[in-house]
Amino acid sequence: MVRRMGLLVGLSVLLVPCVSQVQGQALRGSEASVTRAHDRAEEHGFTFLRTDAQVRQFVDAGYLVRLTSSRDFVLHDVSFPYGRPAVKLFVERLAAQHRRACGDELVVTSLTRPSSEQPRNASIFSVHPTGMAVDFRASLNSVCRRWLESTLLYLEGVGVLEATRERYPSHYHVAVFPDPYAQYVDDLMSGARAGAVEARYMVRAGDSLWTIARRHGTTVPKLKAANNIRGSRIYAGQLLTVPSD
Query: The domain 22-186 is classified under which CATH number: 2.60.120, 3.30.70, 3.40.50, 3.30.1380?
Result: 3.30.1380
Given a cut of 90, is residue 30 above it in pLDDT?
no
Q: Read off the pLDDT of residues 180-217 as tens digits, 9 standing for 90 and up.
A: 999 988 887 776 555 555 577 778 888 899 998 888 88
Residues 200, 15 contacting (CB under 8 angstroms): yes
Banded pLDDT at 169 (limits 50, 70, 90): confident
Q: Read off the pLDDT of residues 53-85 as tens digits, 9 standing for 90 and up.
A: 999 999 999 999 999 999 999 999 999 999 999
Amino acid at 228: N
Query: What is the average pLDDT across 110-125?
Result: 91
Given a cut of 90, is residue 86 above it in pLDDT?
yes
Average model confidence (pLDDT) for the chain? 84
Residues 136, 164 contacting (CB under 8 angstroms): no
Question: What DSSP string describes 13-68?
Answer: S-----HHHHTT------HHHHHHHHHHHHHTT-----SHHHHHHHHHHTSSEE--
Q: How many CB atoms lie within 10 A of CB 7?
A: 17
* Residue 206 DSSP one-character state: T
Which pLDDT score, from 0 to 100, does residue 198 have?
59
The residue ranges of every structural domain in the chain are 22-186
Is the pLDDT higher at 29 or at 17? 29
Burial class of residue 103 (count of CB atoms within 10 Å of its CB; 0-12, 13-18, 19+): middle
pTM of the model: 0.74
Amino acid at 232: S
